[in-house]
Amino acid sequence: MTKVNGGHLAAKALKAESVRYVFTVCEVVMAPYYEGCEAEGIQVIGMRTEQGAATAADGWSRVTGKPGVAIFDFGPGFGNAYTGILNANLTPSPVVYIGRGRYDPSQFDLGELMEIDRDYIELVRPITKWARVCHDAKRIPEYIGMAFRNALAGKPGPVYLEAVGQELFREVDDSEVYFPTGYRTDAKSYGDPDYVRRAAHLLLNSKKPVVMAGSGVYWAEASKELQTLATNLNTPVFLNGLGRGCVPPDHPMHFSYARRFALREADAILVVGAPFDFRLNYGRPPSFSREARIIQIDIDQTEIGRNRDVHVGIVGDPKGVLTQLIEEIDGRRREDSGWLDFLRRKELEGEAKDQAWLTSNMVPIHHLRVIGELRHFLEPDDFVIGDGGFFVNFAARVLKIHKPGHWLDPGPMGCLGVGPGFAIAAKLAHPESRVVLLSGDGAFGFNGMELETMSRQGINVVTIVGNDGAWGMEKHVPVWKGPAIAADLSRGTRYDIIAQGMGCHGELVERPEQIRAALERAFNACKPALVNVMLTGETSVYRATGSGLFDRMDESRQTQVEH
């Protein structure tokens, strides 16, 4: 009979889920969690804000496919973590968030420290899949099991669990504790065979089919199946969200620039694990053809037909359903008469327009020149994290991502400040890969202190700050009647010196010919590094390059480059 406290019981349950790291901001009342984790061989990573911790846990989920875990205090800790949870919720990403919970019920409603007149569950419920309080130390392992089951079941998403603070310290006999082991399944769910047959028939008989694949394909680890189906069907694939990288850029069916033409002119569109949200203009014209027959595959039945009429809706795990479709098609090939050639031409035209800017010698430097230089360094195993406005949009447009989960960005929440947390998680999960964080100067301000975490923990990320001295994406849009208000930041801020002050390698770059050597030194620094690149802040340059808010991106790609 061994005595063990509630915090340690939680750690044992996390260990059983193969958790390797938990992310937190130190708070002594959570000592039982921390000590339990260390005793179980789980490393506790101390971050600089709870937003950073919540985001790192989300990043871990994204780069491993297994839930990341963050632990934070209530009150201000909870408040800071909230943004990170919001972001995980919209992605959606399966993260286990553990709040400290209120402390001693005998003091509730007396005006205890950090008291609020509602409980935290009420606040977190709208932005999580599942949220609970555990009131009994002995039941903590059960609740951890429930948390993982709910995070991973069907459509993934974040969950929130807190244990009443006192219970973390309460010692119980471990022989009296029920440790569940078979509390969830990884089994795939398959689609209705009749619907699969109809989908195959429709696709095989279409003249201008398109596949639009999103994050659901990533979570289902279905990239191989997606590639096989696209090859067998002879059908172009476009990717969004975490779907990026699920088809490598050198695959003959991989397309990106031609998307607006493809979705407008298609006669059949297979939408897999990609919700009809704003990124797809809700599946509606003008971005989506009105006439196209839509086949939709999603693990979540409530996504089928949301915002857009579908002709064949298949509920099931994308890996399972794509496998069924491949079997149903059984080697039959769709004959293509010019559709692929047309889209390839559009693709090459789009790429060609960016070429001049990728090698531009203008001073201050153009955003695309930095990305152009970075391309010389990137290898298929590297991870690229985007955190910012225009700077990240440019990068997303031209960088080739070779593997699933190797591009992370603020996602549908558009949440600035996610970069350092994501980068830390990516590097911890894949120490053998290089991790590059592309940050706007505005975005850097949110969680830039996490470079101290990188420095302290030896997490060697290369950060490139695109320093245009502005909230560029807010400043240069044609909405303002006069000059943009509150859209400027100080020009020339020395983020490189700030990074040096945190123990990182820091470089300032003001001219394009300096970029390559600076990146070289940053990648070889053997410590975290930051390259601060002074960028142009001219609205006319953005217009000419074709950049803008998300919904203008496609239009602007048409803009003629005047260089």
Ligand X SMILES: Cc1ncc(C[n+]2csc(CCOP(=O)(O)OP(=O)(O)O)c2C)c(N)n1
Please state, in angstroms and rounded to a whole number, the distance separating the CA atoms of residues 549 and 473: 7
Of 114 and 487, which CB lies nearer to Mg ion in the complex structure? 487
Q: Is 373 in the site for Mg ion (CB under 5 A)?
A: no
Residue with tokens 């990305």: 371
DSSP3 helix / strand / coil % (the chain, rounded to 5): 45, 15, 40
As a whole number of Å, the end-to-end CA separation of the chain is 77
Q: Within positions 435 to 464, which residues make up the interface with ligand X, using CB under 6 A?
A: 440-443
CB of 443 to Mg ion, least distance (A): 8
Given ligand X, Mg ion, none, residue 416, with its beta carbon under 5 to 8 Å by kind, binds: ligand X
- Contact pick of 174, 267, 474, 510 for ligand X (by CB under 6 A): 474
CB of 467 to Mg ion, least distance (A): 7
Residue type at 288? F
CB of 484 to Mg ion, least distance (A): 12
Q: Is 471 in the site for ligand X (CB under 6 A)?
A: yes
Neighbours of 341 (CB within 10 A): 10
Of 65 and 472, which CB lies nearer to ligand X in the complex structure? 472
Q: Within positions 430 to 449, which residues make up the interface with Mg ion, using CB under 5 A?
A: 440-442
Residue type at 152? L
Instruction: State the number of CA atoms in the 13 A half-sphere of 178 facing the CB.
Output: 8
Given Mg ion, ligand X, none, residue 443, with its beta carbon under 5 to 8 Å by kind, binds: ligand X
The DSSP result for 472-536, as a single string, is: HHHHTSTT-SSS-SS-B--TT--HHHHHHHTT-EEEEE-SGGGHHHHHHHHHTSSS-EEEEEEB-
Tokens of 92: 């959606």
Query: How many residues in the chain?
Result: 563
CB of 362 to ligand X, least distance (A): 16
Contact indicator for 164, 135 with CB cutoff of 8 Å: yes
CB of 488 to ligand X, least distance (A): 10
Q: Is 386 in the site for ligand X (CB under 6 A)?
A: no
Q: Is 389 in the site for ligand X (CB under 6 A)?
A: yes
Of 137 and 509, which CB lies nearer to ligand X in the complex structure? 509
Q: Within positions 399 to 428, which residues make up the interface with ligand X, using CB under 6 A?
A: 414-417
Tokens of 95: 């993260």
Please state, in angstroms and rounded to a whole number, the distance separating the CA atoms of residues 380 and 248: 9
Contact indicator for 152, 95 with CB cutoff of 8 Å: no
Of 269 and 470, which CB lies nearer to ligand X in the complex structure? 470
Of 136 and 488, which CB lies nearer to Mg ion in the complex structure? 488
Closest CA to 263 of 226, 237, 232: 237
Of 151 and 473, which CB lies nearer to ligand X in the complex structure? 473
Please state, in angstroms and rounded to a whole number, the distance separating the CA atoms of residues 31 and 13: 17
CB of 334 to ligand X, least distance (A): 40
Residue with tokens 């496919």: 65
Q: Is the peptide bond before 286 cis (omega within 30 degrees of 0)?
A: yes
Q: Is 468 in the site for Mg ion (CB under 5 A)?
A: yes
CB of 123 to ligand X, least distance (A): 19
In the complex, which residue's CB is closest to ligand X? 440
Number of residues interacting with ligand X: please give it, by CB under 6 A: 19
Taking CB under 5 A as the binding criterion, the range among 340-348, 357-365, 469-477, 536-544 that sits at the site for Mg ion is 469-477
- By CB under 5 A, name the binding residues for Mg ion: 440-442, 468, 470, 472
Binding interface with ligand X (CB under 6 A)? 388-391, 414-417, 440-443, 466, 468, 470-474
